[in-house]
Amino acid sequence: MYYLIYVSSAMHEMNKEELAEILDTARKKNAQISITGMLLYKDGNFMQMLEGEKESVLKLFEKIKKDPRHKDVTTVIEREAPRRTFPDWTMGFRNMQQIKGNPNYNDYISINLIPERFLGDARFAHSFISSFNEENE
């Protein structure tokens, strides 16, 4: 099993419909290629974890990097892993702007999804995105 976490900036602030479209497409395509993961969105920035067979993850990531809806795609960490973090989700999603006030996420709401926050601390990046695996809604 292989995973990759990246951050990027949307070309513009995404609305609910645009985010839903991204998720719908990702979930359908990921199911076909056995990719699972999580997408976070906050204030025009994304953080995403992709997990699956290395070749599939890297091929998908190449397509993601070319997507015109975002820019400044920065790989935070990529590694082999003994198992999936998000085995049940072809693409989990949390809009961090909509979970404010949920006490389960208080420690994370103030964190900005920018490269400077995660580069150099791969363990924190993995721990951060993995914390959204729990059904805290």
Distances in Å between the Cα of 55 and the Cα atoms of 26, 79, 96 are 17, 12, 30
Q: Is the pLDDT of residue 120 over 70?
A: yes
Structural domain of 115:
2-133
Specify the 3-state DSSP secondary structure of 43.
Answer: coil
| CATH code of residue 116 | 3.30.70.100
Region 72-91: what's the mean pLDDT? 93
The number of distinct structural domains making up the chain is 1
First to last CA, the chain: 28
Over residues 37-72, the pLDDT tens digits come to 999 998 899 999 999 999 999 999 999 999 999 999
Q: What are the two backbone dihedrals, phi and then psi, of residue 101, each rounded to the nearest 5 degrees? A: 95, -15
Total-model pTM: 0.87
- Residue 130: predicted pLDDT: 87
Specify the 3-state DSSP secondary structure of 68.
Answer: coil
- Beta bridge partners, 37, equal 50
Q: Is the pLDDT of residue 134 over 70?
A: no
